[in-house]
């Protein structure tokens, strides 16, 4: 680990790339109060490796002891770790500490080369804290016994984390790093926040849904400056079992000595309260429909020839307008679809995030055009007469599309539905780049 940092007679502060100096009476070390395995402390230590600023980690720091002393509480009144001692006073909150260390060197490469890059770095730092780190913690800590494990709450947290990782995955589909073409403070903070997740709870079966996040994470944590601080990172093989981390039970009062009495018949033990049933999805409470979605998906998958005569005819024979609804969607920003693989990844990410609706939906997404800009159009079958509320709330991509309900009494719209299901080409006069199915 690095030794004391000895600053020059002036302490440098950078404000959006502008250097401001203040006199310092005497040289002083930057001292970081934390254990050596704290991922929040690692942010500052990795930043120090990139900038050449030296930071000393205090020796023999003990959580629950060192951070309870009057000296520590004076630096951070709520006793949280880490805290950085500087020539001008203490700094707490890990992202603020990392910023201080990064800005302690003039022209720090960790804040980009322009005002917009600086803003984007801070944007990803906020995203990393609120969307990635917070949701990993809310999922992980109850499973480690640092809180009550409540399955419905966990389900909501995992959905929020998947949404965040999906957004990150989409960005990284066309970017090696979060901002620009080299490591910035955004990558340091994101890498450290992801590291505890990958080590403790984000198994391969979970992260494989986000291949660009996987590629990015392993690229970042295997950089030499990261390796010096984080060491070797191994991905979790299983999710911690909350049953093995039972919360402490209140101590039972000591029984008072009793006089000898006649033995009574043992009372039958009270039955344990049955677990509360998981709240049903509102779509499960709809009146039964003669259309069985799995039957349609099976017909679609198994029809290899005469698709129009077998599958399309079968779909319209099955379709129940009282129990289901059909929707066209058109991407609002097709002029941005200038790179084919980025457009395909964008659609792929959307379908991943729609996984929460798999039981209630079928979809076709067409990527149209032989050259850029490519058009993205879709057809969706949903249980119920409206787009499910939980889909609109949880899948952020929904707002990126214009949605229009299909009028099946309009023969032109009905034919358009049939063409989209069968990947008809040319579709509306244009070639298909690709067609993706959600089933």
Phi, psi values for residue 388, rounded to 5°: -55, 135
Q: Which of 221-225, 252-256, 276-280, 404-408 has the lowest mean pLDDT?
A: 252-256
Residue 359 has pLDDT above 80, yes or no: yes
Q: What is the CA radius of gyration of the chain?
A: 29
Confidence of residue 9 (pLDDT cuts 50, 70, 90): very low
Q: How far apart are CA 404 and CA 389, in angstroms?
A: 16
Q: Tens digit of pLDDT for each residue in 232-246?
A: 999 999 999 987 655
Q: How far apart are CA 3 and CA 31, in angstroms?
A: 9
Is residue 169 within 8 A of residue 212, CB to CB? The reply is: yes
Angle at 112 between CA 108 and CA 114, to 5 degrees: 115
Question: What pLDDT score does 257 carry?
Answer: 52
Question: What pLDDT score does 299 carry?
Answer: 95
Question: What pLDDT score does 36 carry?
Answer: 85
CA-nearest of 163, 164, 182 to 121 is 182
- 141: left (phi > 0), else alpha (psi -120 to 50), else beta? alpha
Collapsing DSSP to helix, strand or coil, 44 comes out as helix
Question: What pLDDT score does 12 carry?
Answer: 36
Q: Which of 137-151, 256-270, 381-395, 419-433 has the lowest mean pLDDT?
A: 256-270
Residue 436 has pLDDT above 70, yes or no: yes
Question: Full-prediction pTM beyond 0.95?
Answer: no
Question: What pLDDT score does 47 carry?
Answer: 95
Q: Tens digit of pLDDT for each residue in 219-231?
A: 999 999 999 999 9
The predicted model gives 65-79 an average pLDDT of 92
The string of DSSP letters for 117-135 reads HHHHHHHHHHHIIIIIIHH
Higher pLDDT, 396 or 65: 65
């Amino acid at each position: 680990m690095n030794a004391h940092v000895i600053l020059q007679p002036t302490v440098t502060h950078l404000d959006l790339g502008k250097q401001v100096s203040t006199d310092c009476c005497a040289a002083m070390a930057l001292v970081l109060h934390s254990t050596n395995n704290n991922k929040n402390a690692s942010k500052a230590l990795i930043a120090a490796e990139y900038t050449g600023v030296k930071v000393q980690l205090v020796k023999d720091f003990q959580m629950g002891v060192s951070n309870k002393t009057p000296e520590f509480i004076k630096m951070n009144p709520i006793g949280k770790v880490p805290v950085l001692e500087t020539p001008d006073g203490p700094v707490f909150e890990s992202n603020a500490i990392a910023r201080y260390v990064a800005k302690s060197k003039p022209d720090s490469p960790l804040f980009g080369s322009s005002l917009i890059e600086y803003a984007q770095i801070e944007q990803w730092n906020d995203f990393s804290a609120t969307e990635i780190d917070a949701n990993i913690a809310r999922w992980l800590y109850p499973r480690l016994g640092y809180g009550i494990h409540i399955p419905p709450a966990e389900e909501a947290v995992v959905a929020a984390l998947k949404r965040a990782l999906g957004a990150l995955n989409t960005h990284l589909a066309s970017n090696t790093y979060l901002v620009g073409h080299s490591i910035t403070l955004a990558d340091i903070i994101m890498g450290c926040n992801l590291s505890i997740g990958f080590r403790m709870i984000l198994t391969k079966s979970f992260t494989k849904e986000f291949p660009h996040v996987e590629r990015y994470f392993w690229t970042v944590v295997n950089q030499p400056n990261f390796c010096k601080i984080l060491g070797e990172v191994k991905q979790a093989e299983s999710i911690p079992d909350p049953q093995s981390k039972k919360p402490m039970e209140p101590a039972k009062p000591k029984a008072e000595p009793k006089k000898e009495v006649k033995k009574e018949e043992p009372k039958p033990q009270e039955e344990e309260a049955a677990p509360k049933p998981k709240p049903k999805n509102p779509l499960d409470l709809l009146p039964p429909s003669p259309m069985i979605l799995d039957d349609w998906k099976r017909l679609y998958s198994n029809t290899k020839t005469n698709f129009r005569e077998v599958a399309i005819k079968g779909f319209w024979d099955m379709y129940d307008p009282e129990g289901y609804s059909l929707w066209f969607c058109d991407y609002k920003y097709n002029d941005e679809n200038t790179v084919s693989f980025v457009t395909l990844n964008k659609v792929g990410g959307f379908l991943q995030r729609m996984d929460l609706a798999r039981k209630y939906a079928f979809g076709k997404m067409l990527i149209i055009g032989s050259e850029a800009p490519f058009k993205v159009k879709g057809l969706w079958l949903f249980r119920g007469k409206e787009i499910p509320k939980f889909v609109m709330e949880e899948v952020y991509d929904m707002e990126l599309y214009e949605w229009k309900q299909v009028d099946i009494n309009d023969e032109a719209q009905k034919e358009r539905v049939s063409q989209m299901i069968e990947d008809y080409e040319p579709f509306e006069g244009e070639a298909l780049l690709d067609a993706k199915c959600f089933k």
